C-alpha cells in the first residue's frame, strides 16, 4: 500500500469535503434569502443534489474504469467549483425566478459531477491489497469526517464575520485547492493493459440495476442503502429535535410565529427575534454535536478500522456496526428529563459515530473485494449512487414522520432499519465473507471465488 499516495488522496478528499461542508448547513438559508418560504421546496434544494448524484455517480465510475481515476476526479471537482460560483451568483439575482433557477442549477451541476467519493474509493481499491483495503477506505472515511467537522465551523465563521453571501466563494476556494492538488500531485492509479473488455462496455442507465442483481454484490449494496437511509433521516432532523427539546419557542411566540414571515416581521418583532435566537442556539448546539460525531468517526476510520478488521474481519464489523447505530438512535429518541437530554444527545451521537465508522468502510471493502479489478469504479459508483438515493429519500420520510407522527418517530423507525440490516448481514455472513484470492490484487479470480461461495 503506497502511503504517500494514500495521504495525497486523503488530503484532496478532505479539502473538497471542507468546501462541501461549508455550504451544506446553509442551503435552506440561501433559499430563504431569495424568497422561498415553502419548506418543502427548501428541502428540495438539498435533495436535488443527492438525486442527480444518484443518477450520475455510476456514469463517472464507469468513465473512471475507462479513462482513469485522475481525469474523472478533475472533471468532478471542476463541476463542484462551478456549482459553488452559481450559488454565489444566486444571492445577487434581480428576480426571485432567476435566483431559484441559479440555486437549483448549482445543485444539479454539483450533483452531476459529484462522483468524488466513489472515484476516490476506486482509486484506493487500485493501490491497496485486499487485506489492507479497509484501512484505505477508512482513510477516505476519515477525510470525509474531518471535512464535516471543519466545514460547518468555517462556514459559520465566514457567515458571522463576512456575511452569508460570501460562504459559497470560500467553499469554491477550498474546492479549487482540491482541484489544483489533483492536477499537480496525484498520479493515475489505473494500469491499462490495452484490452479492457469491462471498460469497453457502453454505459447504460441499467448500470445500477446490473450491480443490484448480482447474487452477492447486490444484497450488500442494498444493505449499504438501508443503513444510509436510516442515518440520513437522523442527519436532517437532528437540529429540529434539539430545538424541540432544548430550545422550544415560548407558547405566545409559537402562536404569533405561525403566521407568514412578513406578518411576523412587521407586527410581532419580539416573537421573530425570539425565534431567531432559538434557531441560532439550536444550530450552534447541533453544530457542536455533529463535530463530536465527526471526531469519533475520524478516530475510528482513520486509526482503528485497520486493526479491528485484521482482528475481527469486515463481516463481523458490518454486523456490529448497525446494532450500535440503532442503540444510538434509540438513546437520542427517548424523551428524558431536561437535565439528562444533553447526555442522551451526546452519548447517542457517539454511538452513531462508532457504528457508522465500523459499518461503512467494512461494507465498502466487502463490496470491492467481491468484484474484479476492472469493475471497481463501476460497482463502487453504483454503491455511491445508492447512498445518494438514500440521502435523498431518507430526509423526506424522516420529515414526514417528524411532522405528522411525533418528533422521535424517525429515530425509532431508523433504529428498526438498522436492526434489520444487522439481521440480514448475520444471516448472509457466509457468502459475504471476502473471497480467498492472491494477496496482491482483487482480480477476476476473486470474483469467481465469490460466485463459488454462493
Domains parsed from the chain with CATH numbers = 1-187 (1.20.1250.20), 207-454 (1.20.1250.20)
Question: All 3 cell numbers of residue 39?
Answer: 419548506
If we measure between CA atoms, which residue out of 57, 131, 86 comes closest to residue 378? Answer: 57
The pLDDT of residue 198 is 47
Backbone angles phi, psi at 15, to 5 degrees: -65, -40
Burial 42-54 (b: 16+ CB within 10 A, else e): bbbbbbbbbbbbb
The pLDDT of residue 321 is 93
Band of the pLDDT at 78, cuts 50, 70, 90? very high
Q: Per-residue pLDDT for 54 more than 50? A: yes
pLDDT tens track for 305-362: 888 888 888 889 999 999 999 999 999 998 776 556 778 888 898 999 899 889 988 8
Mean pLDDT, residues 39-47: 71
For residue 195, give the DSSP letter: -
The stretches of 300-375 forming alpha helices (DSSP H) are 305-312, 314-333, 338-369
Look-up of cell digits 475481527: 312
Question: All 3 cell numbers of residue 84?
Answer: 459553488
Note if the pTM is more than 0.75: no
If phi over 0 gives left and psi between -120 and 50 gives alpha, with beta otherwise, what is residue 444? Answer: alpha
- H or E stretch at 371: none
The pLDDT of residue 433 is 75
Q: Per-residue pLDDT for 43 more than 60? A: yes
Out of 86-100, 226-240, 411-425, the most confident range is 411-425
CB atoms within 10 A of CB 261: 12
Percentage with pLDDT > 90 across the chain: 18
Band of the pLDDT at 61, cuts 50, 70, 90? confident
The pLDDT of residue 180 is 92
Check residues 219 and 23 and name the one with the higher pLDDT. 219
Question: All 3 cell numbers of residue 205?
Answer: 442507465
If we measure between CA atoms, which residue out of 290, 248, 232, 246 comes closest to residue 411? Answer: 232
Out of 219-223, 299-303, 427-431, the most confident range is 219-223
Check residues 415 and 257 and name the one with the higher pLDDT. 415
The maximal CA–CA distance of the chain, rounded, in angstroms, is 73
Check residues 175 and 3 and name the one with the higher pLDDT. 175
Q: Per-residue pLDDT for 449 more than 50? A: no
The pLDDT of residue 353 is 87
If phi over 0 gives left and psi between -120 and 50 gives alpha, with beta otherwise, what is residue 347? Answer: alpha
Distance, CA of 31 to CA of 22 (rounded, Å): 16
The pLDDT of residue 258 is 42
CA distances from 374 to 32, 135, 210, 410 (A): 45, 21, 15, 39
Mean pLDDT, residues 51-55: 80
* Sequence-distant (≥ 6) Cβ neighbours of residue 279 within 8 angstroms: 243
Specify whether the CB–CB gap between 414 and 230 falls below 8 A: yes
pLDDT tens track for 109-130: 988 887 777 788 788 888 887 7
The distance of Cα 178 from the centroid of its chain, to the nearest Å, equals 18
Least confident range of 210-214, 332-336, 391-395, 441-445:
441-445
CA distances from 338 to 241, 247, 287, 329, 351 (A): 13, 11, 20, 18, 20
Look-up of cell digits 479470480: 445
Grouping H, G, I as helix, E, B as strand and the rest as coil, residue 388 is helix
pLDDT tens track for 185-204: 888 887 655 445 444 444 44
Write down the mean pLDDT value for the chain.
77
Amino acid at each position: 500500500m503506497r502511503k504517500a499516495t494514500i495521504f495525497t488522496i486523503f488530503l484532496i478528499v478532505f479539502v473538497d469535503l471542507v468546501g462541501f461542508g461549508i455550504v451544506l448547513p446553509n442551503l435552506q438559508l440561501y433559499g430563504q434569502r431569495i424568497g422561498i418560504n415553502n419548506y418543502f421546496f427548501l428541502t428540495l434544494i438539498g435533495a436535488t443534489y443527492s438525486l442527480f448524484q444518484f443518477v450520475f455517480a455510476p456514469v463517472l465510475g464507469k468513465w473512471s474504469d475507462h479513462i482513469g481515476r485522475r481525469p474523472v476526479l478533475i472533471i468532478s471537482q471542476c463541476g463542484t467549483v462551478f456549482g459553488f460560483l452559481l450559488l454565489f451568483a444566486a444571492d445577487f439575482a434581480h428576480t426571485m425566478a432567476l435566483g431559484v433557477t441559479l440555486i437549483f442549477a448549482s445543485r444539479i451541476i454539483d450533483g452531476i459531477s459529484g462522483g468524488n467519493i466513489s472515484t476516490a474509493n476506486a482509486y484506493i481499491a487500485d493501490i491497496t491489497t485486499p487485506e489492507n483495503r479497509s484501512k484505505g477506505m477508512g482513510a477516505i472515511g476519515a477525510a470525509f469526517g474531518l471535512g464535516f467537522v471543519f466545514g460547518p465551523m468555517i462556514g459559520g465563521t465566514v457567515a458571522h464575520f463576512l456575511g452569508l453571501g460570501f460562504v459559497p466563494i470560500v467553499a469554491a476556494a477550498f474546492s479549487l485547492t482540491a482541484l489544483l492538488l489533483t492536477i499537480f500531485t496525484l498520479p493515475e492509479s489505473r494500469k491499462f493493459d490495452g484490452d479492457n473488455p469491462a471498460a469497453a462496455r457502453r454505459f447504460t442507465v441499467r448500470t445500477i440495476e446490473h450491480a443490484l442483481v448480482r447474487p452477492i454484490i447486490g444484497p450488500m449494496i442494498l444493505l449499504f442503502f438501508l443503513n444510509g437511509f436510516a442515518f440520513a433521516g437522523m442527519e436532517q432532523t437532528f437540529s429540529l429535535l434539539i430545538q424541540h427539546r432544548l430550545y422550544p419557542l415560548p407558547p405566545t411566540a409559537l402562536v404569533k410565529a405561525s403566521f407568514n414571515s412578513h406578518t411576523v416581521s412587521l407586527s410581532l418583532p419580539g416573537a421573530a427575534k425570539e425565534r431567531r435566537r432559538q434557531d441560532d442556539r439550536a444550530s450552534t448546539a447541533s453544530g457542536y454535536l455533529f463535530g463530536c460525531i465527526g471526531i469519533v468517526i475520524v478516530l475510528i476510520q482513520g486509526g482503528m478500522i485497520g486493526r479491528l478488521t485484521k482482528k475481527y474481519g469486515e463481516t463481523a464489523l458490518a454486523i456490529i456496526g448497525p446494532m450500535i447505530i440503532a442503540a444510538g438512535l434509540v438513546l437520542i429518541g427517548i424523551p428524558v428529563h431536561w437535565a439528562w437530554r444533553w447526555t442522551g444527545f451526546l452519548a447517542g451521537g457517539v454511538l452513531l459515530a462508532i457504528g457508522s465508522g465500523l459499518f461503512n468502510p467494512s461494507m465498502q471493502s466487502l463490496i470491492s473485494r467481491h468484484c474484479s479489478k476492472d469493475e471497481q469504479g463501476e460497482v463502487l459508483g453504483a454503491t455511491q449512487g445508492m447512498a445518494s438515493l438514500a440521502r435523498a429519500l431518507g430526509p423526506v420520510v424522516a420529515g414526514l414522520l417528524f411532522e405528522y407522527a411525533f418528533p422521535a418517530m424517525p429515530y425509532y423507525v431508523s433504529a428498526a432499519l438498522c436492526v434489520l440490516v444487522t439481521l440480514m448481514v448475520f444471516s448472509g455472513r457466509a457468502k459475504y465473507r471476502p473471497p480467498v484470492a492472491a494477496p496482491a490484487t482483487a482480480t477476476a479470480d476473486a470474483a469467481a471465488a465469490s460466485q463459488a461461495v454462493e
